[in-house]
């Protein structure tokens, strides 16, 4: 059917001749099956033939392998290489290869999606970290400003105290010199 012919099973020949409408393309591993007629083969060989249809051999038009002179000839090494795999096998290989490519594309898509999700999460984390850093910088600046404010207040109070202590000491000395400041001598120390 692959070459468009329907041949009754009784008319199928393994050894084809000039007048046949078909010939065989086969892998080297089954070449021995085409060295004698179907009726001369064992049951095991017939089972091999049944199992190998479309896998290890197939029918082809006779012009495709060298019937130029009207006689069956062995294919050239190039033709053997080119036709060493059956179409069915090649289709199966290509189908398998296509499925593998589809799987790889699907896996790559899943990996890409996972990486995109991870990137999005990391960008969100980075954004949050930057916001937190900005907030902490503001808090730190506010703390510095408060510390500077209190430092200035402490400095002013210290200056005020330094100005006040001599005045208070002078007042104490004046009270003591008046003679009525005995309680200050004993109980009040301003240094």
Give the contacts of 184 (CB within 8 A, at least 6 positions apart): 172, 175, 176
What is the pTM (predicted TM-score) of this model?
Answer: 0.36
- The CA distance from 154 to 132, in Å, is 32
The whole-number pLDDT of residue 44 equals 92
Reading the chain (191 residues) residue by residue, the pLDDT tens digits are 566 677 777 778 888 888 788 888 888 888 889 988 888 989 998 898 888 887 888 888 876 544 433 334 454 443 444 444 556 777 888 899 899 999 999 999 999 999 999 999 999 999 999 999 999 999 999 999 999 999 999 999 999 899 898 988 888 888 888 865 555 555 555 55
Q: What is the DSSP letter of 63?
A: G
Task: Name the nearest CA neighbour of 22 among 60, 55, 64, 79.
Answer: 60
Domain boundaries, given as residue ranges, for the chain: 9-84
The pLDDT value recorded for residue 82 is 44
Which residues pair with residue 60 across a beta bridge? 23
Q: Which of 165, 155, 170, 171 is closest to 191 using CA atoms? A: 165
Q: How far apart are CA 46 and CA 111, in angstroms?
A: 50
Q: What backbone torsions phi and psi does residue 78 show, to the nearest 5 degrees? A: -65, -45
Nearest to 24, CA basis, from 138, 32, 16: 16
Q: How big is the chain, counted in residues?
A: 191
d(CA 176, CA 169): 10
* Predicted local confidence at residue 158, as pLDDT: 92
Structure tokens given for 150: 């209190």
Q: What pLDDT does 86 receive? A: 59
Residue pair 38/14 in contact by the 8 Å Cβ criterion: yes
């Amino acid at each position: 059917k692959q070459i468009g012919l329907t041949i009754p099973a009784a008319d199928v020949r393994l050894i084809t001749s000039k007048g046949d409408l078909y010939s065989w393309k086969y892998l080297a591993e089954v070449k021995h099956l085409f060295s004698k007629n179907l009726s001369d083969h064992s049951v095991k060989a017939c089972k091999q033939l049944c199992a190998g249809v479309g896998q290890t051999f197939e029918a082809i038009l006779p012009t495709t392998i060298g019937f130029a002179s009207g006689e069956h000839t062995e294919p050239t090494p190039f033709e053997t290489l080119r036709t060493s795999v059956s179409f069915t096998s090649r289709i199966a290989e290509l189908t398998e290869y296509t499925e593998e490519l589809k799987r790889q594309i699907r896996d790559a898509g899943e990996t890409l999606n996972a990486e995109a999700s991870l990137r999005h999460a990391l960008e969100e984390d980075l954004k949050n970290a930057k916001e937190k850093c900005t907030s902490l910088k503001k808090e730190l600046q506010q703390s510095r400003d408060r510390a500077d404010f209190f430092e200035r207040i402490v400095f002013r109070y210290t200056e005020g105290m330094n100005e006040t202590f001599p005045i208070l000491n002078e007042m104490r000395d004046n009270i003591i010199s008046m003679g009525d400041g005995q309680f200050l001598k004993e109980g009040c120390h301003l240094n």
